[in-house]
Amino acid sequence: MHIHIVGVGGSFMGGLAVLARELGHRVTGSDTKVYPPMSTQLEERGIELIDGYGPENLKTKPDLVLIGNAMSRGNPEVEAVLDLGLPYASGAQWLADHVLARRWVLAIAGTHGKTTTTSMLAWILECAGLAPGFLVGGIPENFGVSARLGSSAFFVVEADEYDTAFFDKRSKFVHYRPRTLILNNLEYDHADIFPDVEAIKLQFHHLIRTVPGSGLLVVNGADANLRATLALGCWTPVERFNDARGWNARLLEADGSRFQVRLAETDQGLVSWSLIGAHNVLNALAAIAAARHAGVPPAVAADALAGFRNVKRRLEVRGSVGGVTVYDDFAHHPTAIAATIDALRAHIGSQRLIAVLEARSNTMRLGVHRDQLAPALDAADKVLLYRSADLKWDLGAVATELNRKQLPRDGGVPVNGARARVYDSVEDMVAALAAEASPDDHVLVMSNGSFDNIHQRLLERLGQVKP
């Protein structure tokens, strides 16, 4: 069968392309500006990429067209699919029908931490010899690919609350029918499709309705929105993490790189790993609890995490030149931004942290979180903000608020003046960073897009100006 995917460059649709190829189908896909690591993954697996959208991409009359949720009416390729009467489906529905049916699905939902927790859980099951299939919204370093079918009954899937397709406005995750479901957290996001947090709670409630009574919910016990969502109805046993009466952790290192896993007051295993941050400790607790439901003892799961390597673009070190270390991180919501900065701060101590942010997500561009952005960045010593042409609000107000405050630790003045500045050009940002950065500085770049390859451009510039 020839399957053509419209919007193949997204992390979810790109993963579907890998699964469809593994099932033996011919797979082609169209998109614009597909960048690594997804472009690399698709090319390595012989998936033909077509740049741009148009009726000409359908001249081979594919047997089935999968349409990504970023595609809308008016897109020339979507219009051609409809005009030609070609069979089409959403990616989530195809996944449910052709991959997840009759498997033990372990799904990870939540505003933050889905990709990392999904990768952790897949790795734990892999180390336990369970050979799971998985679909992750990123490239897990342990596997080198975002999706695979696996060879057992278990399938681990990142469960996104974003809508399914232009013709199916339910959240994608309602298609997955999990037996084990992690609910990491719930905050307001995706302002382009959800009017308020209550609308998101309703979608999570619909997901909970699909979990059987013989299944398990693994829920962040400290999240008020999740408590309110469970109060709408719950028919499945619940285990809580981030809860002294449930799964919790005793930190042995302040940065979260070593901790004791506990169930209530009983030690279950020791995690000593390369990851940092309180948020990753919580992700690990959730993954360990879910793995136990699939039959993996907590001590085995904890041992497996010693070899866990995080997903690309999650505090990923892109390089170090002249003592300046450059990181790439996917954070794009104030809570995730603060968690990432706090994790790096706990790890580097008093060394200088320079935060570089592209306010790129739909919610960020609309300005929904404008009042939370400066507090989220406050633990950084210096902040560079990129103002894209389509930003709908005054990013300069964030810089002004940060510049009114002293530096977080010693009240000093940053090198080269103002603590926070706004830039309209990535090239200007690279030049400013290269001039500013000194040995032992840590440059944390945060964006959910390619950010015009600012990381590599900065490393190359540092190599030119540093000894």
Same domain, 120 and 57: no
- 81 and 124 co-located in one domain: no
Closest CA to 222 of 115, 372, 335: 335
Examine the domain organization and report whether 39 and 188 are in the same domain: no
Q: Determine the pLDDT at residue 302.
A: 97
Does 256 fall in a domain?
yes
Contact 337/331 with Cβ under 8 angstroms? yes
Task: Note whether 134 and 147 are within 8 A (CB).
Answer: yes
Q: How far apart are CA 322 and CA 345, in angstroms?
A: 20
Same domain, 231 and 110: yes
> Which pLDDT value is given to residue 417?
60
Q: Give dist(CA 205, CA 202) in Å, integer.
A: 5
- Phi/psi of residue 112, nearest 5 degrees: -130, 150
Residue 465's pLDDT is what? 57
Residue 311 resides in a domain: no
Residue 267 and residue 331 in one domain: no
CATH number for 392: 3.90.190.20
Task: Give the pLDDT confidence score for residue 40 in this predicted structure.
Answer: 85
One DSSP character per residue, 52-77 reads S--GGGGTT--SEEEE-TT--TT-HH
Give how far the C-alpha of residue 260 lies from the chain's centroid of Cα atoms, to the nearest Å.
Answer: 25
Please count the other Cβ atoms lying within 10 Å of the Cβ belonging to residue 178.
28
What's the pLDDT score for residue 39?
83
Which CATH number belongs to the domain containing residue 18 in this structure? 3.40.50.720
State how beta strands 88-90 and 104-109 pair: unpaired
Phi, psi of 448 (to 5 degrees): -100, 20
CATH no. for residue 151? 3.40.1190.10
Residues 107 and 207 in one domain: yes
Number of domains in the chain: 3
The whole-angstrom distance between residue 291's C-alpha and the CA centroid of its chain comes to 20
Q: Are residues 413 and 455 in the same domain?
A: yes
Angle of helix 278-293 versus helix 334-348 axis, rounded to 10: 110
356, 454 Cβ separation under 8 angstroms: yes
What is the 8-class DSSP label of residue 131?
-
pLDDT at 412: 45
Question: What letter would DSSP give residue 311?
Answer: B
- State the pLDDT at residue 22: 96
How confident is the prediction along the chain (467 residues), in pLDDT tens digits per residue?
999 999 999 889 999 999 999 999 999 999 997 777 788 889 888 899 999 999 999 999 999 999 999 999 999 999 999 999 999 999 999 999 999 999 999 999 999 889 999 999 999 999 999 999 999 988 899 999 999 999 999 999 999 999 999 999 999 999 999 999 999 999 888 778 888 999 999 999 999 999 999 999 999 999 999 999 999 999 999 999 999 999 999 999 998 999 999 999 999 999 999 998 888 999 999 999 999 999 999 999 999 999 999 877 777 888 989 889 998 988 778 888 888 898 889 889 989 999 999 887 777 777 777 888 888 899 899 999 998 877 878 888 888 989 987 555 554 444 446 899 999 889 999 998 988 889 999 999 988 878 888 988 998 888 875 44
Residue 181 domain-assigned? yes
Answer yes or no: is 97 within a domain: no
Pairwise CA distance, residues 426 & 431, whole Å:
9
Both 268 and 342 in one domain: the answer is no
425 with 324, same domain?
yes
| 440 φ/ψ sector (left φ>0, alpha ψ -120 to 50, else beta) | left
What domain range is 363 assigned to? Answer: 316-465
In the block, tokens 């907590």 appear at 298
